[in-house]
Homo-oligomer: A and B are copies of this chain.
Amino acid sequence: MRADARRNLGKIVEAAAEVVAERGVGAPMEAIAKRAGVGVGTLYRRFPDRDALIAAVGDHYIHTMADALDAADRGSADAWSAIWDFVCWVAEPGRAALSTALAVLPDEVIARRAEFARVRARWEERFDQVVRRAQAEGTMRRDVGVQDLIHLLNVFTCHPEDLPAPVAADPGRYLRLMLDGMKAGAATPAPSR
């Protein structure tokens, strides 16, 4: 592979990650090409079709995600702060939407990527352990689970076009609100009336 071609490949995956973060997994090839500063033809020389390109972005990102969770876990005194830190990490600008975008990857795409599915499963399992630990430590409500956390993460870090502008501008604000509602003792006990 020629040196300039390798350079372009890098630019393409990088651009794809950015554009997917902004517009979701349905982002048009042309938008990605423009962002990378290349023609659409170049995208198709490296990837057979858009699914392959999106999958490449996913492969890279899921690892980052798993690493961030591990780092938050290692770097925190207790499980609740680990969760808090990880959620804040996901909400950081430019990263937010990507995680969700990938959450809605079509099944066909995932099926052809055993690696992706495996890493994601490991991540979920790890996340679940942290959540259970937080509950055992008495800092987190017992009537919510890791799936609730994941769904809410997905909801708030959806690509900006599908969210009210203020939410897209600061998903962290709403994610923190959600965490506050998940703290032990925050639960509203009975039906309201």
Contact = CB atoms under 8 A, between A and B. Distances in A.
A152 B174 contact: yes
Interface in A73-110: 76, 81, 84-85, 88, 103
Interface residues of A, number: 35
B186 A180 contact: yes
Contacts of A156: 155
Given A85-B193, A180-B182, A180-B187, 19 more contacts: A81-B192, A84-B192, A103-B164, A144-B177, A148-B174, A151-B166, A151-B167, A152-B177, A155-B163, A155-B167, A155-B174, A162-B162, A177-B178, A178-B178, A179-B181, A180-B180, A180-B181, A180-B186, A181-B182
